[in-house]
Every structure is written in structure tokens, then in C-alpha cells.
């Protein structure tokens, strides 16, 4: 009897929902597909309350999904791939076997930890991957460059702040089927996986998030526009990989458009009137490095030609944005 990874061992682990139904006649596969949907439903809705942090319902990702997740994350040799709730280890083992990555899985069920370690050895990647008996909330994620999850959705939501706190900007997070609450994925793909639920076949949805740099707060910079140095005082409000911004230049104010982050890469537009009354379009692009952003500003004043200027913004704990203008309203 072969499981989704073609080895048949997963079915021997006690107390675990396995999905091997290759012996089942074709006409009953539809019924199992429905069971699969119920399992997904169980993951989504009906896990026992006590299991919010610790539950051991095990449903392996099919091998086709493990491979698609590694491809979506563009896994390579230099990656450290982590699977939170690693089951029989196939996600990490596949990343090591097909893409030369290193990595580790963490798993609450000790029998699965043992199984994953022995399967990794059998596939010849035992020196590059390891499996740890641990609660996902206790895992140190700081060295991960790719994090995978196929977990109860509430568990994923509960992990979201940990992911955002510990992972470096640019780290890829990939999930099978479930999301991260209101954090929209950067990419998503749904496909029919014939090997899902032990060969019953079902749709699999995989999603990718790129951890964004943290840019919430006050940022200041200067640009030479129209022959004079202009000081920009901005306030940025971030929501995951998108944001909003407002800025004051002298006594004039403007709003950013289309502020986006992909890892540490930031871009946004700004059309505003600058003294002495010229409408200026700015296109900012840069790399966030902690408290600085370095890149370019393409600036086009009304009717003029576009100039590309070096742009260096610095984060500040204070802003001149709120200072009184001293101008009486007429």
C-alpha cells in the first residue's frame, strides 16, 4: 500500500488520519473526495477547542503539492526551509531532494518526528534536514528563508505575529489550502491534485507571502527640485505588503499612491504641488535597510523632462509634519 509519498509508512503511525485509499474502487473515489472535503472542514472548523495550540490531526500534503510549494517559493541550494507541523517530513525532504536546500521540520507528534527522520535518511538527505519534536509556537524561525504550513487556519492566524516578528524581510511563506487571515497572499495558485486525499483527487490551493520590511512611522528626506533643496516629512502607515503615506514639503501636503513592498523593496508615487506652485510627479523606488531607504526618485515637473535623482530617506522618531504653518486661512 503506497501513501502520497509512495512509501506506505505513514499509515502505520498510530492515532493519525491517513489518506491512503489506493485500494478503493473508482466508483467510491467520489465518496472519498467528499470525505476529503470533510477533513479539510475538520481542519478549518471542528478541531477541538483544546487543540488550538496543540493538535495532532495529520493529513499529508500530496507529493504534487509539496513539489508545487517548493516551486512557488523558488527554493534553491542556499535556502533554509522550515515546515511548521511537518508530518512525515515530505515538504522539507522534497525541498532538499529536488532543490538541494537545507532545513528542518517541527512536529508535535513524536512518532511522526521519528518517521520523518527515517524517511529523510532513506531519501539520502538525512545530512541536510532534521526533524524536531516541538510546538510550532516555540520554534526559533530567525534562520528560515522559506516557511511552509498546512495547518488548522486558526493556528496559522495565531502564528502570524510570530512570523512577522521573527522572519527577515524577503522570507517566503508558503501554505497549502489555508490563509493568514486578512494578510492577502502575494501569489496564489489553485490546481487539481490527483494524488490528494490518497488518490481521491481534489483541488489544492497554494499561497505565497513575501515578508515585508517594516516601514510604519516617520520618514524624512531631501530632494533638489527646481534648483532648490526641498525637505520632505512623511508619515507612513503599513498594512502588511501595502501602505499609505502622506507628506509635507514646506507648507504644502500630498498623499502617496500605490505604496507596495516586496520584501525589502518599496515603491510608491506622489503627485503634489511644490512651491512656487508647480505640479510635480515623483516615482520612488528603493531598498529598506532598517532605518534607511536607499534608491531613486524619478521626478517630473509640469511640462518638464523627467530626471532621476538618488533618494535616501531616514526613519525618525519625530516629524515636522504637524508643525503649525503660521499661515492665516483666507
Cα gap 111→10, rounded to integer Å: 10
Residues between 146 and 185 with contacts to ligand SAM, criterion CB under 6 A? 150-151, 176
User: Which listed range, 55-63, 222-230, 281-289, 296-304, lies at the site for ligand SAM (CB under 6 A)?
Assistant: 55-63
What is the x/- site pattern for ligand SAM, positions 85-114, by CB under 6 A? xxx--xx--------------xxxx--x--
For residues 90 and 172, which CB has a smaller minimum distance to ligand SAM in the complex? 90
For residues 108 and 129, which CB has a smaller minimum distance to ligand SAM in the complex? 108
Residue nearest to ligand SAM (CB): 85
136 sits near ligand SAM (criterion: CB under 6 A): yes
Instruction: Tell me the longest C-alpha to C-alpha distance in the chain.
Output: 84
Cα gap 174→163, rounded to integer Å: 12
Cα gap 56→69, rounded to integer Å: 22
For residues 202 and 223, which CB has a smaller minimum distance to ligand SAM in the complex? 202
293 sits near ligand SAM (criterion: CB under 6 A): no
Q: Between β-strands 307-316 and 292-301, what pairing exists: parallel, antiparallel or unpaired?
A: antiparallel
Cα gap 60→196, rounded to integer Å: 9
Q: Between β-strands 252-262 and 242-249, what pairing exists: parallel, antiparallel or unpaired?
A: antiparallel
Pick from 19, 36, 55, 125: which binds ligand SAM (CB under 6 A)? 55
Cell, residue 330: 483666507
Give the number of other Cβ atoms within 10 Å of residue 16's Cβ: 20
**What is the separation of C-alpha 266 from the centre of its chain, rounded to a whole number of angstroms?**
16
58 sits near ligand SAM (criterion: CB under 6 A): yes
Radius of gyration of the chain (CA): 25
User: Which listed range, 51-59, 201-209, 267-275, 278-286, lies at the site for ligand SAM (CB under 6 A)?
Assistant: 51-59
User: Which listed range, 6-14, 50-58, 216-224, 229-237, lies at the site for ligand SAM (CB under 6 A)?
Assistant: 50-58
**How many residues of this chain bind ligand SAM (CB under 6 A)?**
24
CB of 242 to ligand SAM, least distance (A): 29
User: Which listed range, 83-91, 94-102, 216-224, 289-297, lies at the site for ligand SAM (CB under 6 A)?
Assistant: 83-91
Cell, residue 184: 492577502
5 sits near ligand SAM (criterion: CB under 6 A): no
Give the number of other Cβ atoms within 10 Å of residue 89's Cβ: 30
CA angle 137, 142, 147 (to 5 degrees): 70
Q: What are phi and psi of 3, to 5 degrees?
A: -90, -165
CB of 108 to ligand SAM, least distance (A): 4
Cα gap 216→248, rounded to integer Å: 17
- DSSP, collapsed to helix, strand or coil, labels residue 56 as coil
56 sits near ligand SAM (criterion: CB under 6 A): yes
For residues 55 and 256, which CB has a smaller minimum distance to ligand SAM in the complex? 55
Pick from 12, 54, 143, 260: which binds ligand SAM (CB under 6 A)? 54
Contacting positions for ligand SAM (CB under 6 A): 53-56, 58-61, 83, 85-87, 90-91, 106-109, 112, 135-136, 150-151, 176
Amino acid at each position: 500500500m503506497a501513501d502520497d509519498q509512495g512509501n506506505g509508512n505513514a499509515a502505520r503511525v498510530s492515532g493519525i488520519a491517513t489518506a491512503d485509499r489506493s485500494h478503493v474502487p473508482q466508483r467510491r473515489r467520489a465518496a472519498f473526495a467528499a470525505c476529503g472535503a470533510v477533513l479539510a472542514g475538520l481542519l478549518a472548523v471542528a478541531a477541538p477547542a483544546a487543540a488550538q495550540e496543540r493538535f495532532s490531526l495529520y493529513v499529508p500534503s500530496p507529493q504534487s503539492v509539496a513539489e508545487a510549494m517548493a516551486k512557488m517559493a523558488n527554493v534553491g541550494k542556499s535556502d533554509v526551509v522550515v515546515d511548521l507541523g511537518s508530518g512525515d517530513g515530505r515538504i522539507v525532504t522534497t525541498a532538499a531532494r529536488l532543490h538541494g536546500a537545507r532545513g528542518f521540520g517541527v512536529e508535535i507528534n513524536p512518532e511522526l518526528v521519528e518517521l520523518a527522520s527515517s524517511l529523510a535518511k532513506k531519501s539520502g538527505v538525512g545530512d541536510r534536514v532534521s526533524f524536531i519534536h516541538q510546538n510550532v509556537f516555540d520554534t526559533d524561525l530567525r534562520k528560515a528563508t522559506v516557511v511552509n504550513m498546512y495547518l488548522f487556519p486558526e493556528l496559522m492566524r495565531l502564528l502570524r505575529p510570530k512570523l512577522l516578528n521573527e522572519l527577515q524581510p524577503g522570507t517566503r511563506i508558503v501554505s497549502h489550502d489555508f490563509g493568514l487571515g486578512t494578510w492577502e497572499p502575494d501569489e496564489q495558485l489553485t490546481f487539481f491534485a490527483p494524488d490528494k486525499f490518497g488518490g481521491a483527487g481534489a483541488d489544492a490551493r497554494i499561497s505565497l507571502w513575501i515578508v515585508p520590511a517594516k516601514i510604519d512611522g516617520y520618514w524624512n528626506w531631501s530632494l533638489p527640485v527646481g534648483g532648490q533643496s526641498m525637505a520632505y516629512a512623511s508619515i507612513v502607515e503599513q498594512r502588511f505588503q501595502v501602505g499609505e503615506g502622506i507628506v509635507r514639503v514646506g507648507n504644502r501636503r500630498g498623499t502617496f499612491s500605490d505604496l507596495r513592498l516586496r520584501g525589502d523593496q518599496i515603491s510608491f508615487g506622489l503627485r503634489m504641488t511644490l512651491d512656487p506652485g508647480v505640479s510635480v510627479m515623483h516615482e520612488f523606488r528603493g531598498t529598506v535597510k532598517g532605518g534607511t531607504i536607499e534608491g531613486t526618485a524619478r521626478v517630473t515637473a509640469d511640462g518638464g523632462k523627467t530626471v532621476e535623482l538618488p533618494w535616501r530617506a531616514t526613519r525618525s522618531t519625530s516629524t515636522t509634519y504637524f508643525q503649525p504653518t503660521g499661515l492665516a486661512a483666507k
